[in-house]
Amino acid sequence: MADDAVRSRETMMFSHSPADDPSSLGRALPPSFVIGTATASAQIEGATTSGRRSPSVWDRFSAQPGRILDGSTTVVTADHYHRHAEDVGLMAELGADAYRFSLGWTRLQPGGSGRLDPEGVAFYDRLLDELHQAGIAPFVTISHWDVPEEYEQGWLSRDTAYRLGEFAGLVAERFGDRVGSWITINEPATVTLNGYALGLHAPGQALLFDAMPTVHHQLLGHGLAVQALRAAGVPGQIGITNVHTPVVPASDTEEDAMMAALFDVVHNRVFADPVLRGRYPQVPDELAPMFAAFAEVPADDLALISQPLDFYGLNYYMPSRVAAGAGSGESPDGMSEAMTELPFRLETFEEYPTTGFGWPIAPDCFGTALAEVQERYGDVLPPVYITENGASFPDELDPATGVVQDDARIDYLAGHLRAALDAVAPGGPAEGLDLRGLFVWSLLDNWEWAAGFTQRFGIVHVDFDTLERTPKASYRWLQDVLRARREV
């Protein structure tokens, strides 16, 4: 029976459907729908000793024994710092419309204070110039987790929000004329949950609900960054990126329903509601002590946080199934002792195949995520970009053919892109949502945070010994999708 279940799950993962056909999918894309790739500076740049770059919290975290699964560090990663021209060439050959990347905070502002460093500025000048020469639109993320290590309390300190606002003003003045789209901060939910509540990511604190102040400080940093960008008069559009997961209870019991609602608030709504509604969500009285950090938030803070945006960035990877009661400590991102102290646990989705990370592959839930934000935020929801969507698989380069045949990723990307288009089409669950584009995570196999080099998300294979790049079958598939769109 177990073997049959495994075969069934493998069949689900690798069975192609007509929707996977790149020609038909390409023809289904609206002409203005943006297709891009995405990366983050800490995961691909390397060159941590070049110039005056100072350590970030992730440099410090990765140097601590036992923090990173394979013991790897940020020192080299994919060496994009020295190979950016090659990587832009790969995007141009792909036919990508846009490239979402993040600015290395400690490369541009060593020590987290003062003027921008000329050598760091020169690197991003070159990258932006190369992108424009290739006809690829830059989507620039100002803060993607690599906070300067000098900020000892990190996002537990309100001061870090002001430092982000100052940094945003500096980069706006330097790069604003060449950036058409700005993202203030990436996935504050993951930073709070994995970095401060569960101890899985940098800075490695396991504070559980005492981590809630980091929610407000990150969102305040977002608001201050928006203010700085607008004060600098940048012509580009401005948004934020949050990761959303549709949440379902593990059973029809009242206890599971309450814990599922709690997880929805913790993961989704405390990050989206203040940005889009200007207030934190209400919770039942019995849960209120967990959210005491939001009990007396200054009105001026909420006004900053909820400034109108030009777009909302939504990252989607998976749904979550939640049950009441403590679990084993296993999370989608690794083992956390702190999770055993929570009043809920995450359950698996046996009905779905999984990625290399063990995450459920559920494109139908992608439509649910879009429908939920549409229903919750309605008229105050600006146009939406899917700023990350992708999956890790144990890809291998065939030495005989030089090919990485990542059929599972093709299935994943095709299913999710089709699900997104269907969700916002007439009669779809998110009809009326203004969906503007999708960014594939990721362009390159990279250093996957606490998982090190053990998880490959890229549509381009990277040999982490030689740093050679090899486009995978999924790259060629996406190239065909974009070619078919251009031929319509």
- pLDDT reading at 334 higher than 70: yes
Looking at residue 55, its pLDDT comes to: 97
- pLDDT reading at 5 higher than 50: no
Looking at residue 241, its pLDDT comes to: 98
Write the pLDDT tens digit of every residue in 346-402.
999 999 999 999 999 999 999 999 999 999 999 999 999 999 999 999 999 999 999
- pLDDT reading at 12 higher than 60: no
Q: How many CA atoms lie within 13 A of 114 on its CB side?
A: 15
Looking at residue 330, its pLDDT comes to: 81
Give yes or no for a contact between 296 and 345, defined as CB atoms under 8 angstroms apart.
Answer: no
Write the pLDDT tens digit of every residue in 408-434.
999 999 999 999 999 999 999 999 999
Work out the percent of the chain whose per-residue pLDDT is above 90: 92
Domain positions in the chain: 12-487
Q: Which residues are catalytic?
A: 388
Spatial CA neighbour of 94 closest among 485, 486, 475, 484: 475
Tell me if the bond preceding 102 is cis, omega within 30° of 0. no
Looking at residue 293, its pLDDT comes to: 95
- From 1-5, 16-20, 236-240, 275-279, the region with the lowest mean pLDDT: 1-5
- pLDDT reading at 290 higher than 90: yes
- pLDDT reading at 9 higher than 50: no
Q: What is the mean pLDDT of the chain?
A: 95
What's the CA gap between 449 and 397, in Å, rounded? 22
Looking at residue 253, its pLDDT comes to: 98
Confidence of residue 3 (pLDDT cuts 50, 70, 90): very low
Look up the CATH number of domain 12-487: 3.20.20.80
Write the pLDDT tens digit of every residue in 120-129.
999 999 999 9
- pLDDT reading at 142 higher than 50: yes
Cβ neighbors of 470 (< 8 A, separation 6 or more) are 397, 402, 404, 460, 461, 463
Rounded to two decimals, what is the model's pTM?
Answer: 0.95
Spatial CA neighbour of 475 closest among 41, 83, 92, 39: 92
- pLDDT reading at 10 higher than 50: no
- pLDDT reading at 467 higher than 80: yes
Write the pLDDT tens digit of every residue in 153-174.
999 999 999 999 999 999 999 9
Write the pLDDT tens digit of every residue in 79-100.
999 999 999 999 999 999 999 9
Give mean pLDDT, residues 304-323.
98
Write the pLDDT tens digit of every residue in 197-234.
999 999 999 999 999 999 999 999 999 999 999 999 99
How would you classify the pairing of strands 334-335 and 330-331? antiparallel
Looking at residue 2, its pLDDT comes to: 37
Looking at residue 17, its pLDDT comes to: 52
Q: What is the DSSP letter of 462?
A: E
Looking at residue 393, its pLDDT comes to: 98
What's the CA gap between 185 and 55, in Å, rounded? 19
Give yes or no for a contact between 473 and 410, defined as CB atoms under 8 angstroms apart.
Answer: yes
Q: Is the dihedral of CA 440, 187, 132, 45 positive or negative?
A: negative
Residue 106 corresponds to which tokens in the numbers above? Answer: 């400690």
